[in-house]
Structures are given as C-alpha cells and as structure tokens.
Amino acid sequence: MASFDGLPPLRDTIETYGLDANKALGQNFILDLNLTHKIARDAGDLSKSTVVEIGPGPGGLTRAILSLDAKKLICIERDNRCLPALQEISDYYPDRLNVLEDDALMVDLSKFEDEHPIKIIANLPYNIGTQLLTNWLTQSIDNPFWSSMTLMFQKEVGQRIIAKPGDKHYGRLGVLCGWMTDASISFDVSREAFSPPPKVTSSVVHLELKKNRIPCQLSKLEMVAQAAFGQRRKMLRQSLKSIGGEALLEKVGIEPTRRAETLEIDEFCALAREFE
C-alpha cells in the first residue's frame, strides 16, 4: 500500500534506518498499512482515548493509530534503532506521540494515572505476549488502568484467551481472561503478512474490561485455577487435594468427579471465595 499520510513507505523507513527485524527481540514487522489500519480500527473510537502501543518498530501500527485521531499515543520501544523512525512520526503528528525507550515487561502502565482509562493496541512479540497480558490483567486489579486491549498473538495463544469450558484450549489463562474481560478473536493474520514471516498464523484478540466482575479475590482464583489445571486429566477431588479437595468442593456443591475443563467461571470464583 502506498503511503497515506505523507510519510515514507515502511520499506523505505526500514532501509533508511537499518531496521532489520531482531530475532532476539521477537520482532516481526507488518508492512501492509491496510492491515495496520484494520488492527487499529478494531479498537473502536480512539478520538477520546490515550493509547499505549508496545514495540512499535518502524511505526506501521503507530501511524495507523495516529491517523485514526487517537488523542494521545504512548509507545514503549526497547530497540533504540527504531527511535529515529518514531521521531519522524512524532514530528509529523506534533504533540500527540510520546516514545519511551524501555522494556515493556518492566513498565507499570498503571503509572500513567492521568491518562486513565487507556486503550492498549499492539503487535506483541510472541516470546513475551502472554506474560505482558497477564501483567496488565493483574495490575491495579481494583482500579484497572485500561478499558480495552487489541493485541496480536500467535493463534494458539488467542484460542487460550477466549476458551470456554469444554474447549481443549481452556485453562488458567482462559479463566483469568473470562473473569476480567469479554474477549473475542477479531480476525486471523497469515504469516506472509509479516517481515520476516513467523512460523505460525497470528490472531488479533480484542478484550473489553468487564463492567461487573464476579466477586472473588484474584490471588485465590489464581491458586484454584493453578491447582485444577495443574492435573487437568484428573478428577477435581484429586487435582484440588492440596487446597481442600472434596471438602472444598462440597462447600460449593460441585461434584468431585468433574474435571477442571468443565467448570464455569462462576464455579471457579465460588471455589476461590470458599478457599482459605
């Protein structure tokens, strides 16, 4: 796609600044500006939102977000080779782009308290994507700093995020995401859309913060889910033995012969409330 905003095509930007993808950083760049716009549009109206993007690289998604009138965009980029390209975008969109050179795993996004609630939009590195998502879900649990997240993962991770009871992908991540969010896979992205192409298909996942969460304590919910899915092929009376087993299940009225993948989110929450 030709440049839509007066800035150079992404391939020219990559050549100008020597931005070959760094495998150690999990970089896979999207050069199709039609696709970056599709991802940004999936986040909804950005005109009243502060957006956070992780790992902007040469700035294809960055440009799409800004072109869709995001009020403000905060980019967190670990690779200092990308900073000149991002500065070029910042000059084109004055006073709307703030670039932080930092490791996203070390940044507590809740510190942007004056920007709440924010929208997170990112093509996440595969090697840290799940950890970043878990961090954001569990930071500031009583006063979440974000309203939605539109994120690219490898497809298998996306399936785990949206998984429901009875699904083979259902596990601890599905319980956490199901408790806190309404999550869906918006669309898949073929490996050929990236440079260099990864080995797997990707998915864009959209997560909206639930307005009314089922009451329970996060730490207890995580402990119950970890125990239950730690031995997922066993009956709950065995897999939950370390945290109360049959006695705990009786309190909640759950058959001890069931398995973890059959439990609804509200049943996990009930177990978490009874677990001491």
Domain coordinates of the chain in residue numbers? 10-209, 218-274
Q: With the CA atoms of 82, 85, 87 and 88 taken in that order, what torsion angle do they form, in degrees rounded to the nearest 10? A: 180
- Contact, 51 vs 99, CB < 8 A? no
pLDDT at 1: 46
Looking at every residue in the chain, the average pLDDT score rounds to 93
What is the rounded average pLDDT of the residues 147-157? Answer: 97
Residue 13 buriedness (CB in 10 A; 0-12 / 13-18 / 19+): buried
pLDDT digits (tens, 9 = 90+) for 17-31: 999 888 888 889 998
| CATH code given to domain 218-274 | 1.10.8.100
Return d(Cα 261, Cα 247) in angstroms, integer: 20
Return d(Cα 103, Cα 207) in angstroms, integer: 23
- Contact, 57 vs 79, CB < 8 A? yes
pLDDT at 26: 85
pLDDT digits (tens, 9 = 90+) for 12-61: 999 999 998 888 888 899 989 999 999 999 999 999 999 999 999 999 99
Superfamily of domain 10-209: Vaccinia Virus protein VP39 (3.40.50.150)
Q: With the CA atoms of 256, 257, 258 and 259 taken in that order, what torsion angle do they form, in degrees rounded to the nearest 10? A: 100
pLDDT at 63: 97
Write the CB contacts of 151 (distance below 8 Å, at least 6 apart in sequence). 120, 121, 122, 124, 129, 133, 204, 205, 207
pLDDT digits (tens, 9 = 90+) for 71-113: 999 999 999 999 999 999 999 999 999 999 999 999 999 888 6
